[in-house]
């Protein structure tokens, strides 16, 4: 095992750094803490780590002072039994002169696949002269349990597939503050591409058939490696059937009772507790997201039906049967992910009269934003319904403004002292990224 680790460390010295497109997330290392980057697999975490390594090299850090390992590498499988301490033993056997004299920059990709990694990382930070970066495809890396086990020695950051602005950057389209007619045309054309392609970096620029094939490979990797293997699921077919059902009903309400009944109708003996656990695991893998109703009572919020969204709108189209989905659901999913990048506190809202607003987002400073999603307001009845719901919600939450996101329409309405901003999706996305 020691020789295998040495080989991997030396191979990294010779490998080219695939740094890809610069990401807008600004992960800042803090002395004495591990920098943890968490997100769905294939969203660009490893590439971002290579960007950090590239910056270190430009600052004069020797490549020999950079220790990089990807724990998804099958050759590291036996580390589960032999212990992570072998990593330091291998590194310092290659570079004994660096022990206690030079800072080592450690990059550990997908370390969560090794049980008991937390004490190793904690010891590393306490006893070695190092700066530590960790990536993982599990929200467990954000949990209080991890913070407790590492004695507060970790600072976690989330990463998602390309935002619209990052996709424009990939396409070479800049977004200035003031947009000329030509620039607006470029951005709108860029959005139509993004609408088809989605945000996973690897599929950007690929044709439809390749994109679908890669999305489906991601889907099976998430289900089997992040769920079935990680949680030792005894009935993987039930997990797959539930995942398909939730993807097919993206942006729709669900209840544990209904999902349990659905699985039982397919012949699965899955009690409600198991179905609830599966959904928690989907969320843990940053694959699906549950949105609760906005309610001051946690009990009522937990008991009410919830809405489900997926990590990427184009991923949905590659996986779903398409029977229950429409473009309005996909638009709503896209808006949700834009809001989720800004804050984990995203809810749906019901007014006292029972009218629904798709999203209320709350930031850390408790600022609230109401967002309604509607493909088109051309139908007068639809327009009246959407504006009325938003107006009632603004009154109840004491907000002076709200947003309606559409495909193409743009308008500003005054209702007494309140303002409704009707914004096309492309403009909403470049504004939300700021």
340, 405: one domain: yes
What pTM, to 2 d.p., does this model score?
0.95
6, 151: one domain: yes
**CA-to-CA distance for 209 and 385, rounded, in angstroms?**
39
Q: What is the pLDDT of residue 138?
A: 86
Q: What is the CATH number of the domain that holds 411?
A: 3.40.91.50
Q: What is the pLDDT of residue 145?
A: 57
- Is 347 within a domain? yes
Q: What is the pLDDT of residue 112?
A: 87
Domain count, the chain: 3
- Average pLDDT score over residue span 227-249: 94
364, 310: one domain: no
**CA-to-CA distance for 34 and 30, rounded, in angstroms?**
8
Q: Which of 174-183, 239-248, 316-325, 414-423 has the lowest mean pLDDT?
A: 316-325
Q: What is the pLDDT of residue 143?
A: 67
278, 231: one domain: yes
246, 349: one domain: no
In this structure, are residues 8 and 75 in contact, taking their beta carbons and an 8 Å threshold? yes
Strands 356-362 and 130-136: unpaired
Per-residue pLDDT at 63 exceeds 90: yes
**CA-to-CA distance for 343 and 106, rounded, in angstroms?**
29
63, 142: one domain: yes
Q: What is the CATH number of the domain that holds 241?
A: 1.10.10
- Is 359 within a domain? yes
> What is the residue-averaged pLDDT of the chain?
94
- Is 202 within a domain? no
219, 288: one domain: yes
**CA-to-CA distance for 193 and 171, rounded, in angstroms?**
10
- In the structure, what pLDDT confidence band is assigned to residue 24 with cuts at 50, 70 and 90? confident
- In the structure, what pLDDT confidence band is assigned to residue 91 with cuts at 50, 70 and 90? very high
- Is 186 within a domain? no
Per-residue pLDDT at 144 exceeds 60: no
In this structure, are residues 24 and 165 in contact, taking their beta carbons and an 8 Å threshold? yes
409, 307: one domain: no
Please say which residue of 102, 124, 159 terminates a domain.
159
- Average pLDDT score over residue span 352-376: 96
Per-residue pLDDT at 37 exceeds 60: yes
Q: What is the pLDDT of residue 19?
A: 94
Q: What is the pLDDT of residue 146?
A: 67
- Is 189 within a domain? no
| 330 contacts: CB under 8 Å, gap ≥ 6 | 250, 251, 313, 316, 317
- Average pLDDT score over residue span 334-360: 97
Q: Which of 109-113, 127-131, 166-170 has the lowest mean pLDDT?
A: 109-113
- Is 248 within a domain? yes
**CA-to-CA distance for 140 and 281, rounded, in angstroms?**
10
- Average pLDDT score over residue span 217-236: 92
Kindly tell me the burial class for residue 239, based on how many C-beta atoms sit within 10 Å of its own C-beta (0-12, 13-18, 19 or more).
buried
Q: What is the pLDDT of residue 27?
A: 85
Per-residue pLDDT at 328 exceeds 60: yes
- In the structure, what pLDDT confidence band is assigned to residue 148 with cuts at 50, 70 and 90? low
Please say which residue of 293, 325, 357 terminates a domain.
325
> Percentage of the chain surpassing pLDDT 70?
97
- Average pLDDT score over residue span 66-79: 94
- Is 176 within a domain? no
Domain that holds residue 115: 2-159
- In the structure, what pLDDT confidence band is assigned to residue 147 with cuts at 50, 70 and 90? low
Q: What is the pLDDT of residue 296?
A: 83
- Average pLDDT score over residue span 325-348: 96
312, 375: one domain: no
8, 148: one domain: yes
Q: With b meaning 16 or more CB within 10 Å and e meaning fewer, what string describes 10-34?
A: eebeeeeeeebbebebebeeeeebb
- The span from the first CA to the last CA of the chain, in angstroms, equals 47
**CA-to-CA distance for 410 and 404, rounded, in angstroms?**
9
Q: What is the pLDDT of residue 80?
A: 87
| 378 contacts: CB under 8 Å, gap ≥ 6 | 409
366, 318: one domain: no
Please say which residue of 266, 296, 325 terminates a domain.
325
Q: What is the CATH number of the domain that holds 145?
A: 3.40.50.300
Per-residue pLDDT at 155 exceeds 90: no
Q: What is the pLDDT of residue 14?
A: 94
Q: What is the pLDDT of residue 362?
A: 96
- Is 145 within a domain? yes
Q: Output the CA torsion 309→315→321→324 (10° steps).
A: 30
Q: Phi/psi at 154 (nearest 5 deg)?
A: -140, 140
288, 366: one domain: no
């Amino acid at each position: 095992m020691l020789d295998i680790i040495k080989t991997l460390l030396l191979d990294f010295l010779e490998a080219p750094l695939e740094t890809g497109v610069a990401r807008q997330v600004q992960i800042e290392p803090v002395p004495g803490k591990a920098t943890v980057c968490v997100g769905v697999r294939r969203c660009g975490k490893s590439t971002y780590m290579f960007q950090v390594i590239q910056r270190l090299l430009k600052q004069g850090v020797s490549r020999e002072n950079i220790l990089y390992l990807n724990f998804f590498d099958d050759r590291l499988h036996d580390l589960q039994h032999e212990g992570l301490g072998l990593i330091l033993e291998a590194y310092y056997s290659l570079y004994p002169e660096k022990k206690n004299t030079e800072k080592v920059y450690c990059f550990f990709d997908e370390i969560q696949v090794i049980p008991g990694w937390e004490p190793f990382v904690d010891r590393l930070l306490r006893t070695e002269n190092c700066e530590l970066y960790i990536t993982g495809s599990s929200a467990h890396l954000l949990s209080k349990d991890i913070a407790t086990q590492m004695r507060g020695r970790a600072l976690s950051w989330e990463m998602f597939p390309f935002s619209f602005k990052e996709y424009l950057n990939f396409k070479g389209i800049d977004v200035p503050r003031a947009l000329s007619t030509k620039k607006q045309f470029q951005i709108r054309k860029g959005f139509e591409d993004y609408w088809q392609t989605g945000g996973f970096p690897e599929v950007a620029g690929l044709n439809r058939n390749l994109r679908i094939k890669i999305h489906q490979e991601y889907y099976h990797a998430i289900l089997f490696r992040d769920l079935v293997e990680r949680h030792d699921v005894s009935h993987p077919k039930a997990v797959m059937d539930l995942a398909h059902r939730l993807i097919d009903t993206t942006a729709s309400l669900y209840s544990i009772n209904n999902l349990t009944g659905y699985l039982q109708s397919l012949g699965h003996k899955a009690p409600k507790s198991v179905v609830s656990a599966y959904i928690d695991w989907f969320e843990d893998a940053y694959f699906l997201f549950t949105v609760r109703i906005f309610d001051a009572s946690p009990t009522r919020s937990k008991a009410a039906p919830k809405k489900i969204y997926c990590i990427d709108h184009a991923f949905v189209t590659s996986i779903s049967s398409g029977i229950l989905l429409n473009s309005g659901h996909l638009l709503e999913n896209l808006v949700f992910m834009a809001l989720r990048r800004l804050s984990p506190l995203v809810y749906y809202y019901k007014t006292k009269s029972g009218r629904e607003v798709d999203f209320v987002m709350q930031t850390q400073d408790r600022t609230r934003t109401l967002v309604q999603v509607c493909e088109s307001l051309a139908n007068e009845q639809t327009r009246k319904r959407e504006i009325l719901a938003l107006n009632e919600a603004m009154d109840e939450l004491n907000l002076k403004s709200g947003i309606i996101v559409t495909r193409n329409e743009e308008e500003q309405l005054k209702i007494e002292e309140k303002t409704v901003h009707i914004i096309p999706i492309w403009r909403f996305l470049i504004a939300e990224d700021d």
